[in-house]
Structure 1
Amino acid sequence: MKGKIIVCGSQKGGVGKTVTTFNLAYALTSLGKKVLAVDFDSQGNLSTCMGIEDLRNEEKTIGHLMMAEIEDEPIEAVDDFIQNNAGIDFISANVYLSAVDTKLRLEMGAEKMLSNILEPLRNRYDYILIDTAPTLGSLTINALAAADSVIIPVNPQLLAMMGLQDFIKTVSKIRHRINPRFEIAGILLTMCDSRTNLCKVLVEEVNDTFKGQIKVFETCIPTTVKVGEAVYYNMAVEQYSPKSTAGIAYRNFAKELIGYEG
């Protein structure tokens, strides 16, 4: 059975995309799934979470694989680009990906480059998770074109609706023009402070707006300092503090996602 390729995507920053990708990868791994996490953001935040200390000197990144694909150069063994942290396989990224972004705009069939790299890896993993930049540029379109589905993290404290409709329109265009199998896995509410009325109101607003159209995951990821502490130590929150509310939430989210994916 082929593995699922899932993007964690949003055109808004500050919604917990990278932290979600990292913690979901760990939770799925701890549930016995084989996971590959791909950092597809030139800032390399996911790579930092995975413990890469000197991003600038990384020479085997997703950017290098992409450039080889663009230039039609034979790719060395892809295994040389795959690293491991806490049982999670991952491919790192750094600022070199920005050069790829620029070059992609001039290429024929540009939107399929990442798909060409990841398709041969499907048979080795249950899940391939892609972390993207908070933009709708050529790199993000590449990620969406390669994926089966997208998880959209939404921070209820950042005016949840802003940018969400635009992102959903882009998803629709990707499905109609490039990738007919592509769908929205669901909206994940992150950084929820259930004690505040604002959070409750916005959660209700998201549910009311998309009910019947787009799945809103039942699991909400709570706000807790443990998440930031865990990232500092290059650990998933469940690994760092197994009893923390966020760690439990990410594990529940992984179970919910597996149920959704069937």
Structure 2
Amino acid sequence: MIRIAIANQKGGVGKTTTAINMATALAATGSRVLLVDLDPQGNASTGLGVDQAARVRSSYELLTGDASVAEAVIATKVPRLDLIAATVDLSGAEIELIDFDNRTHRLDTALAEAPAGRWDICLIDCPPSLGLLTVNALVAAQSLLVPLQCEFFALEGLSQLLTTIERVRARFNPELRILGIALTMYDRRNRLSEQVSQDVRATLGPVVFQTVIPRNVRLSEAPSHGVPALIYDYRCAGSEAYMALARELIARLPKIAASTGVAA
């Protein structure tokens, strides 16, 4: 199972929207996808229509060892897409995990015990921070997808994230690679969006996906209906962009698989 963390410590960059719609797009191409909601806000769970009453076992129990992946997983409305939901209990997990052995490897250990062959790809939606929850995701993942908002301050946050990635590589997970950076909330009417896009591409080159995710009202509306935008309105500009991004991501997966020994 290929594991991809979706992370950016800056909030409001479209990270959860990316997690939900990329998971849906990958499932639509025939992959069996597991989405792990590791954000205490639980927005990915809500966005997939899983209400609080259905979250009997969650990513909190997964990290504390009180539930296995098989026990915590929930089927979603999207064919071939399963979810490990998040609850508010997760907000205290970073403090509680301090007393656990191998506290940085809790998620990695849990996912390693997942039923063999059940899923092809695991996406991990991280919280908007660089705390212990995100570190657990980076340790568990083979690769990283970074949503980056097309605004000036996003570039500052990216440098902090890259520093954290290097530290995780050095101490815990030398195989961690950046799969790609996805430019989000792109506004063609705003010169700043284009300037940020050019700056990021000039700095990071081909690691930046060609597809950009536009500002789109349908992407914002979909979570309130409990479905991904690709189901809410598959013809809107946001949905078409996420399908194009999924195709780019799939094209890069064999390279990741070859470097990690994981079958694509």
TM-score by length of 1: 0.91
Aligned residues with identical type, % of pairs:
35
One-letter identity of the residue aligned with 1:253: L
Number of the residue aligned with 2:22 = 24
Q: Secondary structure at the match of 1:248?
A: helix
2:137 to 137, 143, 167: 143
One-letter identity of the residue aligned with 1:39: D
Cα deviation, 1:129-169, whole Å, max 9, x if unaligned, reads 00011101111100100000111111013523111111001
Please give the alpha-carbon distance, in whole angstroms, between the structure 1 residues aligned to 2:154 and 2:38.
24
- Asked whether 1:224 is paired with 2:216, we answer yes
The 5 A counterparts of 1:125-140 are 125-140=119-134
Shift of 1:186: 1.2
**Any conservation in 1 of the 2:48–2:226 contact (CA below 8 Å)?**
yes
Cα deviation, 1:13-54, whole Å, max 9, x if unaligned, reads 000110100000000000111000000011111111111222
Residues 163, 132 of structure 1: CA spacing in aligned structure 2 closer, same or farther, 3 A cutoff? same
**Residue correspondences, number:** 251
Q: Secondary structure at the match of 1:184?
A: strand
Number of the residue aligned with 2:243 = 251
- Asked whether 1:120 is paired with 2:113, we answer yes
Number of the residue aligned with 1:66 = 63
One-letter identity of the residue aligned with 2:144: V
Number of the residue aligned with 1:99 = 92
One-letter identity of the residue aligned with 1:12: K
- Asked whether 1:90 is paired with 2:87, we answer no
The 5 A counterparts of 1:96-245 are 96-121=89-114, 123-157=117-151, 159-211=153-205, 215-245=207-237
Please give the alpha-carbon distance, in whole angstroms, between the structure 2 residues aligned to 1:123 and 1:138.
28
**Any conservation in 2 of the 1:160–1:206 contact (CA below 8 Å)?**
no
Gaps of 5+ in 2: 255-264
Please give the alpha-carbon distance, in whole angstroms, between the structure 1 residues aligned to 2:218 and 2:92.
35
Shift of 1:59: 2.6
Please give the alpha-carbon distance, in whole angstroms, between the structure 1 residues aligned to 2:205 and 2:244.
21
TM-score by length of 2: 0.91
Number of the residue aligned with 2:259 = none
Shift of 1:256: 0.5
